[in-house]
Amino acid sequence: MSQARPNHSYDDFRKNAAAAYAAMMALGKAIDDSGLEKSLTELVKLRASQINGCAFCLQLHANKAREIGIPPEKIDLVAAWRETTDTFSQPEIAALALTEVLTKLAEGDALDRAYADVARHFDDDQILFLTMTIAMINQWNRIAVGLRFPPPARRRASTAA
């Protein structure tokens, strides 16, 4: 009896596809070094991972969000960001809208509106790296879902100052 899909771990991917893993990590480092706020990129990664149903990436980025001090209400409500009034900043709202448009590959007016809104909050280079962030997490989601990565352990935010 064969499996319909492969079942690999993140560690399998790192070890057996080392060059691909290194390339993905290099892209992540370029994004981290771009000057975009880490809290913004983690919210974007959470939202795309929710849309894509990627348990591995959801848990990984929820862990990271807690570690860097993103308020719990933002982590809890990122799936319903449109329904909140005071939880997310205007730049975060614009970034989350762009995340949804690019993750679902909306075209035409929706994409044009999302980029116009993002342009009110970010400069051209920031938009470039925000777009790369969305593309990168979508790639990771497809790898993790496709290879059935099990979610990492949940980590709690440190309470130490």
Structure confidence at residue 108 (pLDDT):
82
Region 121-132: mean pLDDT is 98
pLDDT, average across residues 23-38: 97
pLDDT value at residue 7: 82
Contact partners, residue 121, CB within 8 Å, separation at least 6: 90, 91, 94, 95
Instruction: Region of 6 please: left (phi>0), alpha (psi -120 to 50) or beta.
Output: beta
Q: Are 127 and 36 in contact (CB under 8 A)?
A: no
Amino acid sitting at position 128? L
For residue 67, what are the domain limits?
Answer: 28-146
Mean pLDDT of 106-121: 92
Whether residue 146 has pLDDT greater than 80: yes
Answer whether residue 133 is part of any domain. yes
Does any domain span residue 161?
A: no
- Token pair 């969305």 is at which residue? 134
Alpha carbon distance 42, 38 (integer Å): 6
Given a contact cutoff of 8 angstroms between Cβ atoms, the answer to whether 49 and 58 are in contact is: yes
> How far is residue 58's CA from residue 141's CA, in Å, rounded to a whole number?
9
pLDDT attached to residue 78: 98
Residue 21 lies in a domain: no
Report yes or no: 136 and 28 within 8 Å, Cβ to Cβ: yes
Distances (CA, A) of 145 to 1, 13, 103, 130, 150: 21, 12, 15, 22, 9
Residue appearing with tokens 């209400």:
73
Assess if residue 66 is contained within a domain: yes
Is 3 domain-assigned?
no
Answer whether residue 79 is part of any domain.
yes
With bands split at pLDDT 50, 70 and 90, how would you rate the model's confidence at 160?
Answer: very low
DSSP string across 55-85:
HHHHHHHHHHHHHTT--HHHHHHGGGGGG-S
126 confidence band (pLDDT: 50, 70, 90): very high
Q: pTM of the full predicted structure?
A: 0.90
Domain count, the chain: 1
With beta carbons less than 8 A apart as the criterion, state whether 84 and 107 touch: no
pLDDT one-digit tens code per residue, 57-98: 999 999 999 999 999 999 999 999 999 989 999 999 999 999
The answer to whether position 14 is within a domain reads no
Residue 139 belongs to a domain: yes
Who has greater pLDDT, 7 or 10?
A: 10
| Domain containing residue 80: CATH number | 1.20.1290.10
